[in-house]
Structure 1
Amino acid sequence: MFSWFERRLNPFPAEEPTQPPQGFFAFCWHFTRGATPYIVATALLMAAIAIAEVWLFGFLGQIVDWLAQQDRETFIDDQFWPLLGMSVLVLVGLPLLVWFHSLLTHQTLLGNFPMRIRWLGHRYLMKQSMSYYQDEFAGRVATKLMQTALAVRQCIMTFIEIVNYVVVYFLGMFFIIGSADWRMMLPLASWLVLYALLLRYFVPRLGKVSALQADARSIMTGRIVDSYTNIQTVKLFSHSQREAAFAKQGMDKFLDTVHAQMRLVTKLYGFLYFINCALLFSSAATAIWLWRGDMVSLGAVAVVIGLVLRLFGMSQMVMWQMSTLFESIGTVQDGIGSLSVPQRIVDKPNAPQLTVSNGDIQFDQVRFHYGKGSGVMENFNLHIKPGEKVGIVGRSGAGKSTLVNLLLRFYDVEGGAIRIDGQNISEVQQDSLRAQIGMVTQDTSLLHRSVRDNILYGRPDASADDVQHAIERAHCASFIADLSDSKGRTGLDAHVGERGVKLSGGQRQRIAIARVMLKDAPILILDEATSALDSEVENAIQDNLYQLMQGKTVIAIAHRLSTIAAMDRLVVMDNGEVIEQGSHEQLLAQDGLYAKLWRHQSGGFLAEHL
């Protein structure tokens, strides 16, 4: 039975996520789609429970009157059917209502609903551009996704509970009390006015504080995660105390919002308890006064006092729920700023997949300035022929990394076009473009998974023999066999730690090379691919890299010019332009920038200050 209810709402819908709206209600409604029938059913069951509970209080007054007025001997016979009906309600009806409400709430909604939001939100965020993540803490983004999912659920469920349950309950109370004597409604009406004033004053203030608190919490978490992610750098520069102070600043700001929130809560509960006590006194006094004047029955007195005592606990619950609601609203509004950001790199509708038959690459009048208007690339042209091996040379800031980022479509060009085999890369699917390009970077980052998973990232459907072959070609077998982790996993099953921190730089580089070898894409980009390797291993891998290059179009970026001197063509860039190109010998003969860089190499690397 539990599993049946748990399967009603699919937490992982297959639909493609779209940009969530930026308005609060539209944002919540966006993520409520698919769960609406179960939310409505929950609301109806909650309303039925509220009506039943209020009816019980009304029936309690009748019982008190019957006990005061009727004969003990004939009481059961006289009131058999009302008592039987109420017994069925108490023993069967109300428990069943609560049972089904609990199944829908806890099994269908509370777990699946926020997971559905996380799933859709995560898939949308995964399609954000590189610039989005360069502007944000990874920990902050993750925290906002987690917080916002729970906050949307809390907003929906709390709103239903407050509006539905409370409205039904209060209306029922007014009806039952008013049916005895309208004057007994006066204390309750006065209490409602004061209660509404308290809500009007405190709840918006709690909402503002909660919004500040949500942002402060995500900043605090982001700072802590940033320290953990870069723990090697922290320790290398002996900045543990500095990082602790940096995190403490975030904690202090978060704590300021907590203190502000708790001050408001303390004031709120103090005033609330005072008006509750005033309601109890005035309601009881009014009921007793009317009873003494023989204007209401003893049962009516019992109902009024019972309902007011019930209201004691319920009013605090409602106030807390209202505070929680506005806290969740603040969290959602804060999350909207991160989750509703438009995607900058978007595939066109019905964009075809890129097909690479030759590997011809054409940069045609490309203009790109990172949105700054000028300063990076202007009318950039470069043609790389099918199967050609091209080395890109230039000082820092020459535009080498920009060229690669544009080819991978991490950014869209601002003018001109980049074509692969005549296909404009801005008009094909991004995933299909990157599937045709293999890249080894200087700063290799591995996933915190097993060695096997990291290598299979290049081609998930590869066989075990293919993986082993790639490992041997990348000269990884010797150190993989000796790997182990804290869980006792060894070899290919050993996990490498966050960003591959448990491996040396050279080991990470060789895993990355094995991954690209397994991918075997027709276009290959090498960005200082062997820079982290010692000379012996580099020489061994270099031969395999040359084998990997066969039949592929290759773009190699290197500061160590000796590693690319044997390329078919060298392209020298400066200030976003191609200023020289040719073979190593031709460029030395021209005695231009390349020759100058070659003469001024220090230990085989470019002198960056030139």
Structure 2
Amino acid sequence: MFRFFETLVHPYPPGEPKTPPRGLLAFLLHYSRPVLPLLGVMSLLTALVSVAEVVFFSYMGDLVDWLSNAERESFFAEHGASLVGMALLVVIGLPLLVLMQSLLTHQSIFGNYPMIGRWLAHRHILRQSMAFFQDEYAGRVSQKVMQTALAIRETVMKLTDLFVYVIVYFVGAMFLVGRADPWLMLPLVVWLVGYIGIMVAFVPRLRQVSMAQADARAQMTGRIVDSYTNIQTIKLFADSHREQAYARDAMDAFMQTVHRQMRLVTLMTVTLTILNSLLLVSVGGMAIMAWYFSFISLGVIAVAIALVMRIRFMSNWILWEVAGLFENIGTVQDGINTIAQDPAVLDRPGAKELVVPHGEIRLEHLYFHYGKVRDDESRPRVIEDLSLTIQPGEKVGIVGRSGAGKSTLANLLLRFYDLEQGRILIDGQDIAEVTQESLRRQIGMVSQDTSLLHRSIRDNIRYGSPHASDAEVLEAARRAHADVFLDTLSDPQGRRGLDAHVGERGVKLSGGQRQRIAIARVLLKNAPILVLDEATSALDSEVEAAIQEQLYALMEGKTVLAIAHRLSTIAMLDRLVVMDQGRIVETGTHEQLLKQDGLYAALWKRQSGGFLGEDIDSVAGTTTTVTNEA
């Protein structure tokens, strides 16, 4: 039975994720569609349970009148059938209704509903561009996804519960007491006006505080996660007090919102208690006076007092539910600001799969400034009217000082960003017209900032080819010279070798070990286009020399774009392209560029230990401007 209800809702809806709408109701509906029919049935069952309870209150009033007026000898003969009927309703009918309501609520909706939100939001966030993640804390984004998914469920379910309970109970109470004496409805009407006034006065303020609190909570979480992610840097600079102050600043901001919220809660609770006390006294007093003048029976007094007590307890619950509702609405609206963003880089309608039979790359008049508008020549350039053709199978090295635009060029080739002008063609296909996934499947990349997944060595290497066998994974590790340290690896769970987990971003491995795992991953991927961005920068000279042989073997039959500060690693490539301030200023082989005695020759001469010098005071045809590369 439980399994049946648990599988009524699929928590992982299929289909491509879409950008959710930014309107609150539309956003809630976007993540609620799979459960809307069940929410409707749940609301109906909740209404039936509420009606049954109101009917029971009415019956209790009748019972009081029967007991006060009936003869003992004839009591069961006159009212026995009614007593049995009410007993069956209480013992069988009500539990069955509650069982069905609970199965739908807890088995079908409660767990699956927020998982739908997490699944859809996570898949949408994964489609976001690189710029999105560069502008956000990873911890803050994950917190928003988790908080918002839960808040969506709480908002919708609280709305349906409140709507049903308020209508059924209040309308039922008005009907029961009004049927006996219309004047008894007056205190209820006055109470309702006062209750609405309390909500109007306090709830919007609670909503504003809750939005601020949700953002402060996410900011606090983001700072804490940022500290843990960069724990090595914190310990290296031995400044834990500054890091504590950084976290405490966010915690203080969060606590300020908590204090504001609790002050409002205290004022709201006291005000509601006063209002409820006045309702109880006024209804009780009017009911007693009406009985005194023989306008109503004792049963009506019992019903009126019981309903007022029920309303009194429910009013506290409802007010807290409304406050919680608006707190969740604040969380949802805060989440909308993060989640409901269109990815900056999107596949165009009808985008096709990229096919790379040869591997020719053509860059035609590229302009790119990371979204900045160049309004004067003094502003830094990133890529400025750059054109370059790389023949199929050609190995081209990109050289230049820091900030010349080398890594940006690689990012544009991978379409992490869209060009402002120009186009990039691979075998005559504009990369803006093909799917991003098919483009990146055809390009293997090893970067200088190697990041591994917090999974096993096997999973990290197999990321290059998900269906590769263990033998192929081991061969890739051997070719990347990663096999020499595999047997030494273990983790706290006792997993060893290929099964050992590497820690967040691969922190349990040295820089050289991470780099070799990354190279093994690309070796296994075996894409026709290869991008090397300082691929051996973290390796010592002996290991680098050994891996260079494998990289040269990997390059065979591939189109290669290699970026390096260490010129010795790319001097043997087919052609070198020298960049400065987003432009190509020289091109040729290593020997040809040395003969030109230009920027490349100056860089070669000023190398220290094989690395480019960062400052070049006087080079013909160049400037001393150094720009920051994103």
Match of 2:620 in 1: none
Q: Describe the superposition over 1:124-153 as per-residue Cα deviations: whole angstroms up to 9, x where unpaired.
A: 000000000001001000000000001111
Counterpart position of 2:252? 252
The equivalent of 2:578 in structure 1 is 572
Match of 2:521 among 505, 515, 518: 515
Cα separation, 2, equivalents of 1:124 and 1:51: 42
Match of 1:119 in 2: 119
The separation in 1 between residues aligned to 2:317 and 2:3, in whole angstroms, is 31
Q: Distance in 2 between matches of 1:44 and 1:488?
A: 53
Distance in structure 1 (CA, Å) of the matches to 2:603 and 2:76: 107
* Match of residue 563 from structure 1: 569
Which structure 1 residue ranges, 4+ long, deviate > 3 Å from structure 2?
A: none
Task: Return the alpha-carbon distance in structure 1 between the equivalents of residues 94 and 349 of structure 2.
Answer: 52
What amino acid is the match of 1:471? A
Quote how far apart the aligned CAs of 1:350 are: 2.4
Q: Hey, what's the Cα distance between the residues in 1 that align with 2:52 and 2:166?
A: 13
Q: Tell me if 1:544 matches 2:565.
A: no
Structure 1 residue 381, shift from structure 2 partner: 0.2
- Quote the Cα distance in structure 1 between the aligned partners of 2:77 and 2:343: 73
Q: Which amino acid aligns with 1:553?
A: T
Report deviation, 1:378.
2.6
Q: Are 1:382 and 2:379 counterparts?
A: no
* Corresponding residue number in structure 2 for 1:47: 47
Alpha-carbon shift at residue 379 of structure 1 (Å): 2.1
1:365 Cα deviation from its structure 2 partner: 1.3
Partner of 2:430: 424
Distance (whole Å) between structure 2 residues aligned to residue 381 and residue 552 of structure 1:
21
What is the TM-score normalised by the length of structure 2?
Answer: 0.96
Matched residues in 1 for 2:271 and 2:216: separation? 29
2: CA distance, partners of 1:505 / 1:154: 45
Percent sequence identity over aligned pairs:
59
- Bigger shift: residues 158-167 or 317-326: 158-167
Deviations 1:494-552 (A, max 9, x none): 10000000000010001001101010111001111111111111111111111011000
Distance 2:140 2:504 in 1: 17
Measured in 2, the distance between the counterparts of 1:16 and 1:96 equals 40
Instruction: Provide structure 1 residue ranges, at least 5 long, that are not aligned to the other structure.
Output: none
How many residues of Structure 1 are paired with residues of Structure 2 in the alignment? 610
Summarize the alignment of residues 193-272 of structure 1 with structure 2, pairs less than 5 Å apart: 193-272=193-272
Once residues 8 and 246 of structure 1 are traced to their aligned partners in structure 2, the CA distance between those partners, rounded to angstroms, is 46
Per-residue CA deviation, residues 449-478 of structure 1 (Å, 9 max, x unaligned), is 011100000101001111111011011112
Q: 2:560 aligns with which of 554, 563, 568?
A: 554
Query: Shift of residue 271 of structure 1?
Result: 0.9
Shift of 1:81: 2.5
2:461 to 449, 455, 464: 455
Question: Is 1:497 matched with 2:474?
Answer: no
- Deviation of the 1:376 alpha carbon: 2.1
Distance 2:348 2:77 in 1: 78
Superposed CA offset, 1:279-319 (max 9, x none): 11111111110001000000000001111111221111001
Matches within 5 A, 1:62-461: 62-374=62-374, 375-461=381-467
Cα distance in 2, alignment partners of residues 16 and 176 from structure 1: 53
What is the match of residue 539 of structure 2? 533
CA distance in 2, matches of 1:415, 1:523: 23
Q: Distance in 1 between matches of 2:343 and 2:497?
A: 39
Distance 1:282 1:427 in 2: 74
Structure 2's unaligned 5+ residue stretches are 375-380, 617-630
The whole-number CA distance in structure 1 between the counterparts of 2:454 and 2:503 is: 5
Letter in 1 for 2:387: N
- Cα distance between partner residues in 2 of 1:215 and 1:478: 47
Alpha-carbon separation, structure 2, partners of 1:468 and 1:453 = 12
Question: Residue type matched to 1:405 in 2?
Answer: N
* Cα deviation, residue 342, structure 1: 1.1
Could you state the TM-score of these two structures normalised by the residue count of structure 1?
0.99
Structure 2 distance, partners of 1:607, 1:378, is 23
Give the Å deviation of 1:120: 0.3
Give the residue type in structure 2 aligned to 1:434: R
For residues 541 and 380 of structure 1, what CA distance do their matches in structure 2 show? 32
User: d(CA) in 2 for partners of 1:380 and 1:537?
Assistant: 35
Query: Which of 435, 459, 478 is matched with 2:484 structurally?
Result: 478
The 1-side partners of 2:569 and 2:237 are apart by 31
Query: Deviation digits for residues 168-187 of structure 1, max 9, x if unmatched?
Result: 11101100111110111111
AA aligned to 1:236 is: L
Describe the superposition over 1:371-407 as per-residue Cα deviations: whole angstroms up to 9, x where unpaired: 1123322321000000000000001111101110100
Which amino acid is the alignment partner of residue 241 of structure 2?
Q
In the TM superposition, residue 482 of structure 1 has moved relative to its aligned partner by 1.0
- In structure 2, the residue corresponding to 1:118 is in which secondary structure? helix
Secondary structure, in 3 states, of the residue corresponding to 2:34? coil
Deviation at 1:73, TM superposition (A): 2.0
Partner residue in 1 for 2:588: 582
Q: Residues of 2 paired with 1:417 and 1:250: CA distance?
A: 44
Measure the CA separation in 1 of the matches of 2:561 and 2:303. Answer: 84
Secondary structure in structure 2 of the residue aligned to 1:510: helix
In the alignment, the residues of structure 2 paired with residue 70 and residue 608 of structure 1 have an alpha-carbon distance, to the nearest angstrom, of: 105
Q: CA deviation digits over 1:218-246, x for unaligned, max 9?
A: 00000000000011111111121111100
Matched position secondary structure for 2:282: helix
Q: Secondary structure at the match of 1:34?
A: helix
- For 2:515 and 2:422, how far apart are their aligned partners in 1? 35
Q: Supply the distance in 2 between the matched residues of 1:77 and 1:525 (Cα, whole angstroms).
A: 94
- CA distance in 2: counterparts of 1:366 and 1:466, whole angstroms: 39
- Corresponding residue for 1:607? 613
Q: Partner letter of residue 255 of structure 2?
A: L
Partner SS for 1:193: helix
Structure 1 counterpart of 2:254, one-letter code: F
Rounded Cα–Cα distance in structure 1 between residues aligned with 2:603 and 2:250 = 46
Q: Which moved more, 1:566-575 or 1:186-195?
A: 186-195
CA distance in 2, matches of 1:550, 1:72: 105
Give the counterpart letter for 2:550 in structure 1.
Answer: N
How far apart are residue 603 of structure 1 and its match?
A: 1.1
- The residue type equivalent to 1:603 in the other structure is G
The one-letter code of the counterpart of 1:75 is: F
- Aligned to 1:392, what secondary structure does the other structure show? strand
Q: For residues 58-113 of structure 1, what are the alpha-carbon distances to aligned partners after superposition, in whole Å with 9 as ceiling and x for unaligned?
A: 11100000000111222122112222221221111111111111111111111000
Instruction: Describe the SS at the equivalent of 2:389.
Output: strand
Distance, in Å, in 2 between the alignment partners of 1:300 and 1:609 is 94
Report 1:25-64 matches (<5 A): 25-64=25-64
Residues in 2 aligned to 1:359 and 1:332: alpha-carbon distance in whole angstroms: 47
| Counterpart code for 1:261 | Q
